[in-house]
Structure 1
């Protein structure tokens, strides 16, 4: 199991417990998320690439795992992810060179799962 799956597994039960404690907050977040990621002027893949770059900027491993998986599921290519992460590195300097590779590894992990022929 790669880092992306490990992060998601680690957060699964604590997130469920918190969601049970504050369901209204999570419902509001779910609706915001659905509205923000709905296809419009930008397609879902582009939005996932933006989110992945922001996740690197925020140094959030859980966000990286989620949006690496989302990008893979939305059909992002390895080259598209690499370029988006290049922008994140340019905007973040040194920390981008730590979290960018984490994001790339997570994407590759989820992309292989989405398309076993790639791996």
Structure 2
């Protein structure tokens, strides 16, 4: 089952409509997002894994999909995602076992897609593919 892309697609239209209704708010949030996830004393991959774990604890499907994808794009490996999700079990109990499984499924989906892109002829020819 495709979890991450289903959630992203489900949210695409209503998010676009709200973004058009309040563009300044979205622009401000984009700046906050970019600043918070930028590499600094903590690298961007670790920050995405933290965000993924928080998304599990907050039980936010859209956040899970976004940060599972973000973690993959930053180079996270399945074992790293699994361990970050595992911490949410400690901090959030039973609900984390449900949303953690969703998060890991989304991560695996985006990770597999990354592997497919890496094996594509365009990628092997050195061309950059859009995420």
Q: TM-score range by the shorter chain?
A: over 0.9
Q: Compute the displacement of 1:64 (Å).
A: 0.2
Q: What residue in structure 2 maps to residue 80 of structure 1?
A: 80
SS in 1 for 2:7: helix
Q: What residue in structure 1 maps to residue 123 of structure 2?
A: none
CA deviation string 1:24-78 (max 9, x = no partner): 0000000000110111001110000000000000000000000000001111011
Q: What residue in structure 2 maps to residue 113 of structure 1?
A: 113
Deviation larger for 109-118 or 52-61: 109-118
- Which structure has the larger Rg over C-alpha atoms? 2
Cα distance in 2, alignment partners of residues 34 and 93 from structure 1? 30
Give unmatched runs, 5+ long, in structure 1: none
Cα distance in 1, alignment partners of residues 39 and 4 from structure 2? 25
Q: What residue in structure 1 maps to residue 60 of structure 2?
A: 60
Cα distance in 2, alignment partners of residues 34 and 100 from structure 1? 24
Figure out how many residues of one structure are paired with residues of the other and give that number.
118
Q: What residue in structure 1 maps to residue 69 of structure 2?
A: 69
Give unmatched runs, 5+ long, in structure 2: 120-131
Matches within 5 A, 1:1-119: 2-116=2-116
Q: CA RMSD in A?
A: 1.3
Cα distance in 2, alignment partners of residues 17 and 4 from structure 1? 21
TM-score where L is the length of structure 2: 0.87
> Any runs of at least 4 consecutive aligned residues in structure 1 with deviations exceeding 2 A, and if so which?
none
